[in-house]
Amino acid sequence: MAKRHVTTTVNGEPREFLCEVDQTLLDALRDELGLTGSKEGCGSGDCGACSVMLDGRLVCSCLALAVEAEGREVETIEGMADGDRLHPLQRTFLEEAALQCGICTPGFLVAAKALLDRDPDPSETEIRYWLAGNLCRCTGYDKIVRAVQKAAVEMRAEA
């Protein structure tokens, strides 16, 4: 089958790629654009390791088709830091040791940023439910939740 040509915006930059019609957005990001920060933990929407923003909505990129990116804006973990300035969440994840192996980290960061962008002051319960679509097998979530709480406090203080 002929490949499709997709024109899209990734982390604020115009990008083009060729993909199969049934190729997932995750595979296109990783294999066509070399953006391997988004991870595949399951391929079925259950682990959140592939979380990206598509037109401002948090999605599992393993469940989106690459062709759906046509004309839309994709944000991935690679675009989260502002140049060499880490996003507060990236910093608090490091300070709070919210990662052990780190495979889940990109997905958690993208999802947590989506939460704080819409709710700057979530409760612990809200954080836990928002992040319930992201699996971490290493940390037991304690330090992840604390890192999100700490980033929220810092971001409110800066705002």
Q: Which residues bind ligand FES (CB under 6 A)?
A: 40-43, 45-50, 60, 62, 99-104, 136-139
- Which of 59, 66, 144, 151 is the binder for another protein (CB under 8 A)? 144
Contacts of 146 (CB under 8 A, 6+ apart): 96, 98
- Which of 25, 59, 80, 152 is the binder for another protein (CB under 8 A)? 80
d(CA 159, CA 154): 9
CA 28 to chain centre: 15
Choose between 35 and 60: whose C-beta lies nearer to ligand FES.
60
| Shortest distance in whole angstroms from residue 32 CB to another protein | 12
Candidates 36-44, 53-61, 67-75, 151-159: pick the segment binding another protein (CB under 8 A).
Answer: 36-44
Strands of 51-54's sheet, edge to edge?
13-19, 4-10, 73-75, 51-54, 57-60
Task: Write the Ramachandran bin of 112: left for phi over 0, alpha for psi from -120 to 50, otherwise beta.
Answer: alpha
Instruction: Please report whether residue 35 would count as binding another protein according to CB under 8 A.
Output: yes
d(CA 110, CA 129): 15
Give contact residues for another protein (rule: CB under 8 A). 20, 30, 35-44, 46-47, 49, 76-78, 80-81, 86, 90, 93-97, 99-106, 109, 124-125, 127-129, 131-146
